[in-house]
Amino acid sequence: MNPHAPRLYADPRGVWRDDGVGRIHGVRWNEIDGVDAYAIDADGTRQVFVELGTAAGHRLELPIDWPGYREVATALSLRLAGLRLETLLGAGHLRPEDPPAVLWWRD
């Protein structure tokens, strides 16, 4: 795998987005308080994101077409009680005209 390619990954600390040029952003497991999904139209190309939110207002966008998304989705479904893998994988059906979907929130 190209070390400069963007990727997503999860580890015991949390979920991370590596843009491939040295910028790594993430959120720790205990900070995640919501998971949303939405689609946008970017110059005629549909892009779908799952977004992790924190109580402090931080957001981490996870492009579902980046390498590692399926593994991150699996980790999220195992770590966040009630969030199903099928729900995360089904986000790919969203269209730009659809409202953002709330997939999970911490009670």
Q: What is the CATH number of domain 7-97?
A: 2.30.29
pLDDT in tens, 3-47: 567 999 999 999 999 988 889 999 999 999 999 999 999 999 999
CB of 35 within 8 A of CB of 53?
yes
What predicted TM-score, i.e. pTM, was given to this entire model? 0.91
Virtual torsion, Cα 68, 29, 98, 48, nearest 10 deg? -20
Alpha helix locations (H) across 1-107? 69-79, 85-89
Question: Could you give the count of Cα atoms lying within 13 Å of 11 in the half-sphere of its Cβ?
Answer: 7
